Amino acid sequence: MARGQSLLAYALMRLVIAIPMLFILLTIIFVVLRVMPGDPLLALWGGRTPPASAIESARVQLGLDKPPIVQYWIYLTGVLTGNLGVSIGELYRGQPVWNQIYLRLPATIELAIGSMLVASTVGILLGVVAGTRRDKPSDLSIRLYGTIIWVIPVFWLGIMFQLVFAVWLGWLPPHGRWSGTDVPTRVTGLYTIDALLEGSFPKFLKALSFLVLPCLTLGLILSGFFTKAVRANMLRTVNADYTEAARARGVSERNVVYRHAFRNALVPVVTILGLTFAILFAGAVLTERTFSIEGIGLLLLNSITSKDMTMIQGVVVVYAAFIIAISVVIDIVGALIDPRIRL
């Protein structure tokens, strides 16, 4: 009971700290976007030149004629009431910011989850193997793999996979999330889940087939880093005093590795996994671009180039919310694994 209460208090404290963090972040973003050079209104018309009256009319319609402090107040109250405003950029102009995020977030979530599954499975397995077989050929091979895969540019690996598996072998679709007009009816926006909710296993397989190459590409790249992280932590814990003590008490090596060394090695790895996962939610821009996935990463990139201030703000709000939520979850998981964290 006492343990449960302290964990709850710990989680609540993390959430309370998150509120001023979010407020500071929103303020910084608001100020930075207005200080940076570039006029989104002029950019709206591309290379064309409407009369000054049209530009001024647009400025009024988009609320950019108001003093910055008023704009800031409107922005903050909007965020608090769930209204992220309307895009003022060239690509999404006039469209509610939340609609664009809502449309694209599922694509990024599917990509992030799929990639993390690949990365954590490959990374943890190889890391444990390497960490328990220090300097043996398998360790050396895995270290070499970790280094090489981590430095390969994600777009290059993606293009190679597309070339081999899509163009040459024709096994998998090269890009996009779907082909044809029979898109699963939107419930969650995640095509795999929506296909299952629709009761169509062929559609589920089809959605999955579009995920294989991008998730494999990003997942394998990330697995290089995870492999190294897990290996390093395993080396630390495998030779730690408490594992030596376990061995001295006659605990089998298998139990020493998996119940003592591996569990303790996981604490920092969980933090890395969690934060990487959170970063992926902000969008794996290069992967999304390589595989024509209209995710939140591309949304942010396009918004930055057109200085779409409301869209950037909106994406950052959602991104910050994800980071905070995942940080809290990481902290709680970490606290569950290692009670000392709560002290």
Partner 1 sequence: MAIVVVVIVVIAGTLTAFYLGLFAAPRAPYQLQLWYNNDGHYGDTEDELATVLKSSIEACGRVLVTLRSDPWAVYRQNWAAGTMPLFLLGWYPDYFDSDDYISPFLSISGARALGSRYNNSQVDQWITDEQTTSDPAVRMARFTSIQEKLAEDAPYIPLFSGNAHVAYVAGIQNVNLHPVSFKWFIMDKPGATTLTGATTDKIISLDPASAYDYFSIEVINQVFDTLLVYEPVQSKIMPGLATEIPTVANGGITNGGRTYTYHLKPGVTFHDGTPLNSSVVKRSIDRVIRLDLPASAAFLLYDVGALGRDPTNGNNTAVGTIETPDPLTVVFNLARPVSFFNDLMAFSVSAPVPWDYSQTGEQPSTVGSVIGTGPYRMTQHIENQLVVFDRFANYHSPDLYQSFGINTIPVEDQVTVNIRTTAAALKNDIETKQVDVVYRTLTPTDLTDLQSRASTLGITVTVGASPQIRYLVFQTETITDVRIRQAIAYSVDRAAIDNVVFNGQVVPLYSMLPPEMPYHSPVFQTKYGAVPNCAQANALLSAAGFFVGLGARELIARDT
Site for partner 1 in 76-105 (CB under 8 A): 88, 90-94, 103-104
Nearest alpha carbon to residue 162 among 146, 173, 152: 173
101 in Cβ contact with 295 (< 8 Å): no
Q: Is 96 helix (H, G, I), strand (E, B) or coil?
A: strand
Residue 160 CB, shortest distance to partner 1, in Å, is 12
Taking the least distance from each CB to partner 1, the nearer of 288 and 331 is 288
- Closest distance between partner 1 and the C-beta of residue 318, in Å? 17
Closer to partner 1 by CB, 175 or 259: give it: 175
Indicate whether 315 belongs to the interface with partner 1 (CB under 8 A).
Answer: no
Is 137 near partner 1 (CB under 8 A)? no
- Pick 101 or 323: Cβ nearer partner 1: 101
Is residue 98 within 8 Å of 84, Cβ to Cβ?
yes
Instruction: Report the alpha-carbon distance of residue 200 to residue 206 in Å, rounded.
Output: 10
The 3-state DSSP class for residue 142 equals helix
Kindly state whether residue 288 participates in binding partner 1, applying the rule CB under 8 A: yes
Q: Residue 331 CB, nearest distance to partner 1 (Å)?
A: 36
**Residue 212 interacting with partner 1 (CB under 8 A):** no
User: Least distance (Å) from partner 1 to the CB of residue 265?
Assistant: 39
d(CA 130, CA 340): 28
Contacts 24+ apart (CB under 8 A), 123-126: 123/222, 123/223, 123/224, 123/225, 123/226, 123/227, 123/229, 123/230, 124/226, 124/230, 124/269, 126/223, 126/227, 126/230, 126/231
Per CB under 8 A, the list member of 4, 20, 46, 82 interacting with partner 1 is 46
The interface region with partner 1, picked from 192-200, 220-228, 263-271, 289-297 by CB under 8 A, is 289-297
Q: What is the CA radius of gyration of the chain?
A: 24
Give the x/- contact pattern for partner 1 in 158-197, rule: CB under 8 A: -x--x---xx--x--xxxxxxxxx-x--------------
The pair of three-digit structure tokens given for residue 189, joined into one six-digit string: 């926006």
Chain residues that interact with partner 1, rule: CB under 8 A: 37-51, 54, 57-58, 61-62, 88, 90-94, 103-104, 159, 162, 166-167, 170, 173-181, 183, 288-294, 298, 304-307
